[in-house]
Each structure stands twice: as structure tokens, then as C-alpha cells.
């Protein structure tokens, strides 16, 4: 089946720093999604990308749908303590209605 490789697995940064994470796949995806999971809660959708090359922002978050349709990137600018959590990428490919999730990136922000 389709698989997503998400990196890095974890990040430890200082407040105010920028963050970058990415997901890659050997398969083509038609939609890329980025979710954030806070401790003790379910994932919450941050950004959705529907077109190759698309660049979309949501506040301090910016995500891009790779031109090859096999990768996506998420950037967080000027990180703050409440950015801590697990970030997941997810792709919608040829399996109708079924998302494939990356392994997650654990983000820790030191004040």
C-alpha cells in the first residue's frame, strides 16, 4: 500500500525559531493535509492542499504541495510554546476516501 515518510521524527527548538518538516512518498497523492495533535486530544486539521505546486498559509504556518505530487512541506515561523505537539502529514491518493498518514513529527519548543 501507499506509505508516507515524514521527517524529522522529532525537533527541539527555541521559542522564536522557524521550523520545517516534510513528507515524501514513492506514490502520487492528489491531496495533502497537515494535522496537529495536542497531548490527550485528536488530530486537528491545519492546512489542506489540493493542487501540485500549491502554497497555502494559515497564520504562521505555510505548507506546499510538491510539484511531483510525491511530497509536501510544512513550515512554522517564529515558533511559540503552544506550537508543541505532534504534526502529521496525510495524503489522499488512489484509494478513494482513505487517507495515508505519516509517522508524525514531535515538536518541542523551549521558552
Partner 1 sequence: DADVTQTPRNRITKTGKRIMLECSQTKGHDRMYWYRQDPGLGLRLIYYSFDVKDINKGEISDGYSVSRQAQAKFSLSLESAIPNQTALYFCATSDRVDTQYFGPGTRLTVL
Residue among 11, 65, 104, 107 that touches partner 1 (CB under 8 A) = 104
For residue 58, the cross-strand partners are 61
Q: Is 13 in the site for partner 1 (CB under 8 A)?
A: no
**Count of Cβ atoms closer than 10 Å to residue 34 Cβ:** 24
Contact track, partner 1, 36-55, x by CB under 8 A: ----xxxxxx--x-------
Whether 87 and 34 have beta carbons less than 8 Å apart is answered as: yes
How many Å apart are CA 12 and CA 10, to the nearest integer?
Answer: 7
Residue among 17, 78, 98, 108 that touches partner 1 (CB under 8 A) = 98
How many Å apart are CA 103 and CA 7, to the nearest integer?
Answer: 8
User: Which residues lie near partner 1 (CB under 8 A)?
Assistant: 1, 4, 6, 9, 31, 33, 35, 40-45, 48, 88, 92, 96-99, 101-104
Amino acid at each position: 500500500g501507499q506509505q508516507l515518510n515524514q521527517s524529522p521524527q522529532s525537533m527541539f527548538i527555541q521559542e522564536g525559531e522557524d521550523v520545517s518538516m516534510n513528507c515524501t512518498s514513492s506514490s502520487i497523492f492528489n491531496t495533502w493535509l497537515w494535522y496537529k495533535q495536542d497531548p490527550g486530544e485528536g488530530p486537528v486539521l491545519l492546512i489542506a492542499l489540493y493542487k501540485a505546486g500549491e502554497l497555502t498559509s494559515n497564520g504562521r504556518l505555510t505548507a506546499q504541495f510538491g510539484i511531483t505530487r510525491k511530497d509536501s512541506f510544512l513550515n512554522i515561523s517564529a515558533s511559540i510554546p503552544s506550537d508543541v505537539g505532534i504534526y502529521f502529514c496525510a495524503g489522499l491518493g488512489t484509494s478513494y476516501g482513505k487517507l495515508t498518514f505519516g509517522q508524525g513529527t514531535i515538536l518541542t519548543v523551549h521558552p
